[in-house]
Structure 1
């Protein structure tokens, strides 16, 4: 194995260890990290020592937890931070106008990442969280972004497979393509129980000066509480206004 190959393996293992932590996790021991990552215990012990020395992990007895430096690094992601700061007043206004939960998301690979969530006062608690990910094909924000993205972004999603997430997830490439054509025509994407039972969502793309999606905003809630056709104009107006402000 060359030095470059060895460095690549080490970098991959470090990334696996850091991403092995899940929502709700506190400290994890070497055995649990080895189980989740498939990395040998001896390597986990050595690598977590290096990460702790750099402040990326913190020791808690014989276990480790994510370190504060990771949060600091996250705050340096200027593109996303700038987008969140610019979008927040618009998200707040949309939340106040509809009293539903509002999301801001971007596409990363085949998944959407939620950059900001403004919970509605009358809305139920949904499983989405800031920094959380979800398959793009099963969300309204994902479809809103894919409809206004280069073809290769859609091909990447289709190539990875379209697993069923909710009772009405689109799992056929042809159906997804037709759905995205309608999104391009309407400027809005809908999700009805595609991400989970009883969940409904309406999303609009946030476009750059070239007309390509750089993000999407949405309103989400339970299908027996959110009337998609009523909130859709507010979502579309907010997405267009934010698009102009960013451009």
Structure 2
């Protein structure tokens, strides 16, 4: 009897199954794998693996390293980030963001990483009368926002290079505009677990942010608190940084991250 659903074996596509097996095999190796190792691990003929790798490479789903080994390509990273962004954020994220807003009275942003930039996914207005011009869907270069810097600190090197390729924007005298200075700044963020935007994106405005991770220990995004400089003295930043870290941990856990 023929199955009437996509799970039936009659609907399987052998070439696609082999392609998926190759992608999953490469996902297990952080240093990449030569074609011979892929063939051996999957018991597939060299001609089949070569043809599939060439196709995947043409679409940037895999890439060939200088040493001849194959690794996963950035197209998979982009698709993965898009799939996570399609999560119903109202259910998964917003309650945590609103709680953070209620505790601090500050404006709360949730951003994600996409193609070397920070993208705003959610914005919860603060309880005061001040309204910031940020908006859902806004894209920013990573060096001029707390969320951007929090994400950049934990990106793999190839993604960090994509970020640097976008350029270093200077919005105020406090903006960090050189790669060396920015890399040194990222070391501090890794040490503290949160980032600070001290009038780097806009004069008179301070922000603090902490990174969010997925089940694959990849950076998904970051959450931030934004307020006027006078409402957030430097001596209070560690306190708010810890609040952000705790909230970020809860959201990361909802995405499958295990510390």
Quickly name the TM-score band, shorter chain normalised.
0.5 to 0.7
- The structure number with the bigger radius of gyration is 2
How many residues align? The count is: 171
Q: Which residue does the alignment assign to 1:244?
A: 253
Structure 2 CA distance for partners of 1:123 and 1:153, relative to 1, 3 Å = farther
User: TM-score, normalized by length of structure 2?
Assistant: 0.63
SS class of match (1:82): coil
Matching residue of 2:210: 204
Deviations 1:1-38 (A, max 9, x none): xxxxxxxxxxxxxxxxxxxxxxxxxxxxxxxxxxxxxx
| 1:120 is the counterpart of 2:93 | no
1:182 maps to 188
TM-score normalised by L of structure 1: 0.65
**What SS is found at the alignment partner of 2:123?**
strand
Residue 150 of structure 1 pairs with residue 156 of structure 2? yes
CA contact (8 A) 1:167 1:196 kept: no
Q: 1:159 aligns with which of 156, 160, 165?
A: 165
Q: Tell me the CA shift for residue 219 of structure 1.
A: 0.3
Structure 1 residues 208, 79: closer, same or farther in 2, change over 3 A?
A: closer
1:103-131, Cα deviation, whole Å (9 max, x unpaired): 00011122211010000112621121111
Q: Shift in Å at residue 167 of structure 1?
A: 2.5
1:30-49 to 2 correspondences below 5 Å: none
Alpha-carbon contact 2:112-2:121 (below 8 Å) kept: yes
Is the contact between residue 116 and residue 162 of structure 2 (CA under 8 Å) also seen in structure 1?
yes
Pairing 1:172–2:178 present: yes
* In structure 2, distance between residues paired with 1:118 and 1:171: 29
CA RMSD of aligned residues (A): 1.6
What corresponds to 1:90 in structure 2? 96
SS in structure 2 at match of 1:148: coil
Q: Identify the match of residue 134 of structure 1 among 124, 140, 144.
A: 140
Unaligned runs of 5+ in 1: 1-76
Whole-Å separation in 2 of the counterparts to 1:181 and 1:229: 17
